[in-house]
Amino acid sequence: MKKISLSLILLLCCLAAFAQDDLFGVDSSKKSHSGFIINANLTGDLPLADMAKRYGKDFRVGFSFTYKLKSNWVFGTSCDFLAGNMIKEDSFMINIKDKYSGPFNGKVVQMLNVEGYRTGVPVYERGYLIGLQLGKIINFNHNTPDNGLFLMTTAGFIQHKITIFNKEKDVAQLRGDFMKGYDRLTNGWFVEQYVGYAYFANNALLNFNFGVDVMLGFTQGRRDYLWDVMRTDTKSRNDFLIGVRGGWMIPIFRRKSEDISF
In this predicted model, what pLDDT tens digit does every residue of 47-60 receive, in sequence order?
A: 999 999 999 999 99
What pLDDT is recorded for position 120? 85
Residue 69 lies in a domain: yes
Q: What pLDDT score was predicted for residue 40? A: 97
Q: 211, 182 in Cβ contact below 8 A?
A: no
Residue 185 lies inside a defined structural domain of this protein: yes
Q: Give Dmax (Cα) for the chain.
A: 103
Tell whether 218 is covered by a domain. Answer: yes
Question: Does 241 map to a domain?
Answer: yes
Per-residue b/e over 243-257, b at no fewer than 16 CB within 10 Å?
bebebebebebeeee
Q: Within a domain: residue 192?
A: yes
Alpha-helical regions (H) of the chain? 2-24, 50-54
Residue type, 241: L
Answer yes or no: are the C-beta atoms of 78 and 58 closer than 8 Å. no
- DSSP bridge partners of 219: 188, 237
CATH number of the domain bearing residue 186: 2.40.160.20
Output the pLDDT for position 54: 95
Those residues of the chain that have pLDDT short of 70 are 1-29, 100-106, 204, 255-262
Task: Give the model confidence (pLDDT) of 144-185 as tens digits.
Answer: 999 999 999 999 999 999 999 988 788 888 988 899 999 999
Given this model, what pLDDT does residue 211 score?
A: 98
For 20, the 3-state DSSP assignment is helix
d(CA 9, CA 109): 82
Is residue 216 in a domain? yes
What is the residue range of 144's domain? 33-92+123-252
Q: Which pLDDT score is estimated for 104?
A: 56
Percentage of the chain lying above the pLDDT 90 cut: 65
Of 193, 241, 194, which is closest to residue 55 (Cα–Cα)? 241
Question: Does a structural domain hold residue 114?
Answer: no
Is residue 1 in a domain?
Answer: no
DSSP string, 91-128: TTTTTTB-TTT--BTTTEEEEE-TTS-EEEEEEEEEEE
Number of structural domains (the chain) is: 1
